Copies of this chain bind each other. A is one copy, B any other.
Amino acid sequence: MRILLDVMGGDLPSRALVKGGVAVGRRRGIDVVFAGDPHEIEAALADSGEKPGAKFDVLPSSQTIHMENSPVKAVREKKDSSIVLGLNALKAGDVDAFVSPGNTGAVVAGSIFILDRIPEIPRPGILASLPTLTGEDILVIDVGANSDCTPEQLVHFGLMGASYAHSVLGIDEPTTGLLNIGAERGKGNRLIADTFAQLESGPLPFAGNVEAHHLLIDRPSDIVVCDGFVGNVFLKAVEGGISAVTSLLKRTIRGRAIAMIGALLMSGSFARVKGSLSYRTRGGAPLLGVNGVVVIAHGRSDAVAIGSAVEVACREVEVGLIDRLSQGMSGWREHGR
């Protein structure tokens, strides 16, 4: 297996990302192609005692798409960027998957332009896997690819999420919930009302409306469907809530001797909680619905996080997710949808 890793455009220097790529390449026994500044990549490979070759290869790029660049414009104009070159390599079959911590909008736009969509899927969606108190993750789709959605698009997010849950996670009959602001039928906006009706009469086991404060606590369904604007706000609000508690706790403890001793004794517990809720072990969010395995890593990814993102891509390749998604879509269409 050969995975392309874009090492440009993340918040961290490309050296850290190369280090993560080398580690996961060795651990997993896979080949990794690094797309980016060739001098930096070669220097980072040397630091890890490696040279460019079949196992760790370099796809040199001379341009970088930055976080603040307009996605569509950047993809059209920066033909020699790591994102465009990397997606072209995936399209050509030179690699099996593409992983990037760069500009999410550019990865989405580039994937649609270069790889195209899987037939029958109106829009691709980004799937986030979130830890819950039940010990099992909950899948939320879309968390940022589409800011304006139709009910049909939301239903297809559900279908793709279910395919992923079944194929990659081995969940037998995954249930889908609709992110809403109340549990009762009739709550929410027009988009939600129309989507509710379609999901209810659709082929997926439907868990009904689910509310944001329950997702991480009770895990009311395997998959949660929402438009990309709401999903992105949800994700960042959870992150904000968690940061607020932990920062406040640290600040309250500081300077109070007894509390500081307490914190010291508890530090193992803090580390466990931090580990359980960390994006670093989740690493990557698959972009589902484009014709190739694309995984979006957090912009703040370090070596560990980028390694988990590559792992996510490996699992998708192993189970043949793209074929399964295509077959799933034709299957659902034949069953009257």
A144 to chain B, nearest CB (A): 6
State whether A248 touches B261 (Cβ < 8 A). Answer: no
Chain B residues near A54: list those with CB within 8 A.
none
Give the contacting residue for A181; candidates B181, B187, B232; CB below 8 A: B232
Interface membership of A201, Cβ < 8 A: no
Q: Which of these binds chain B: A23-31, A41-49, A237-245, A323-331?
A: A237-245
State whether A188 touches B147 (Cβ < 8 A). Answer: yes
Q: Which of these binds chain B: A56-64, A152-160, A270-278, A285-293?
A: A270-278
Interface membership of A258, Cβ < 8 A: yes
- Chain B CB within 10 A, most for which of A186, A248, A252, A256: A248
Closest to A254 in B: B269
State whether B189 touches A244 (Cβ < 8 A). Answer: no
Do most interface residues of chain A lie in helix, strand or loop, or is the interface mixed? helix
Beyond A268-B256, A269-B253, whether A133 also contacts B247 by CB under 8 A is yes
Give the contacting residue for A252; candidates B147, B237, B273; CB below 8 A: B273
Bound complex: CA A228 to CA B188 (Å): 9
Q: Which of A135-155 contact B (CB under 8 A)?
A: 144, 147-148
Give the contacting residue for A212; candidates B237, B246, B267, B270; CB below 8 A: B237
A-B contact pairs, 16 of them (CB 8 A): A70-B186, A144-B181, A147-B189, A181-B228, A188-B229, A213-B240, A233-B234, A237-B241, A238-B241, A240-B241, A241-B242, A249-B269, A252-B273, A256-B268, A256-B269, A258-B266
- Which A residues lie at the B interface, using CB under 8 A? 68, 70, 132-133, 144, 147-148, 179, 181, 184, 186-190, 192, 211-217, 227-230, 232-249, 251-253, 256, 258-259, 261-270, 272-273, 276-277
What are the nearest 4 A-B pairs in CB distance?
A: A241-B241, A262-B265, A262-B266, A237-B237
